[in-house]
């Protein structure tokens, strides 16, 4: 009598394990770059929304207190520090009075990259101005386009007009635009496929 072979021992062969590891490695190599792009996009959108929310908060503060309030943007290479400020003597927001403590600072100075890794105030390459002007913005030019370092809201809700340009680590371009007469704040993303700014 020939003995019958018994049941196969439980487990995997080396070949099966190597094949499984190769498939898992291929899937990971495909998924990781897409995941990083999605994370960069999320961070930059979040930073734009964060700035828009800070501006809306400053506008509400100015209306409630019937005195000017806003945000100050201080160059701090390679980015900017953002600080909430308020009018302390009824004559508007002034850099000298902020430095002297007459116009008080409301909260800490914040750098975008500290809260949103890889995001900074920047213009990454030639894009059209978000306000529809014909000029192209050159990479490396000032991304804080306010006319001064302070974006102020009046007690009526109107504001300093301007645009804040943000860039992600993967070169996505966003803009936060402030309309002076109404104090309205809008966020946009530059769509490279259509070469147009898209509201976000």
User: Which pLDDT value is given to residue 80?
Assistant: 93
Give the range of the structural domain holding residue 79, as residue numbers without chain letter: 38-199
Angle 128-140-44 (CA atoms, 0-180°, nearest 5)?
70
Task: Indicate whether 139 pLDDT > 80.
Answer: no
Q: What is the mean pLDDT of residues 112-139?
A: 84
Q: Which residues have a Cβ under 8 Å from the Cβ of 186 and sit 6 or more positions away? A: 52, 176, 177, 179, 199
| Distance between CA atoms of residues 189 and 200, nearest Å | 7
The answer as to whether 25 is a domain residue is: no
Asked, for residue 1, whether it belongs to a domain, the answer is no
Residue 18, domain member (yes or no) = no
Q: Is residue 114 part of a domain?
A: yes
CA–CA dist 109, 81 (Å, integer): 6
Evaluate whether 194 touches 127 at the Cβ level (below 8 Å): no
Q: Given the structure tokens 């990781």, which residue do they identify? A: 32
Residue 37, SS3? Answer: helix
Is the residue at 150 inside a domain? yes
Q: Write down the pLDDT at residue 126.
A: 78
Mean pLDDT across 177-200: 92
Domain tally for the chain? 1
Residue 181 within any structural domain of the chain: yes
Q: What is the pLDDT of residue 8?
A: 62
Q: Of the ranges 6-10, 102-106, 159-163, which one carries the lowest mean pLDDT score?
A: 6-10
* pLDDT given for residue 31 in this prediction: 61
Mean pLDDT throughout 170-189? 92
Percent of the chain past pLDDT 70, that is, above it, reads 88
* 8 in any annotated domain: no
Q: Say if 26 falls within a structural domain.
A: no
pLDDT at 5: 63
The predicted model scores a pTM of 0.79
**CATH no. for residue 138?**
3.55.40.10
């Amino acid at each position: 009598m020939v003995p019958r072979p018994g049941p196969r021992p439980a487990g995997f062969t080396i070949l099966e394990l190597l094949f499984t590891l190769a498939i898992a490695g291929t899937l990971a190599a495909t998924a990781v770059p897409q995941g990083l792009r999605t994370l960069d996009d999320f961070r930059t959108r979040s930073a734009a929304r964060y700035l828009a929310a800070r501006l809306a908060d400053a506008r509400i503060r100015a209306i409630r207190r019937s005195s000017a309030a806003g945000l100050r943007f201080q160059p701090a290479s390679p980015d900017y520090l953002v600080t909430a400020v308020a009018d302390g003597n009824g004559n508007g927001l002034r850099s000298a009075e902020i430095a002297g403590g007459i116009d008080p600072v409301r909260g800490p100075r914040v750098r975008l990259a500290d809260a949103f890794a890889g995001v900074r105030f920047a213009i990454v390459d030639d894009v059209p101005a978000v306000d529809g002007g014909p000029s192209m913005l050159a990479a490396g030019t000032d991304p804080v386009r306010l006319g001064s370092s302070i974006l102020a809201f009046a007690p009526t809700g109107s504001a300093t007009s301007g645009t804040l340009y943000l860039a992600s680590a993967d070169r996505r371009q966003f803009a936060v635009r402030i309309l002076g007469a109404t104090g309205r704040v809008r966020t946009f993303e530059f769509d490279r496929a259509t070469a147009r700014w898209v509201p976000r």
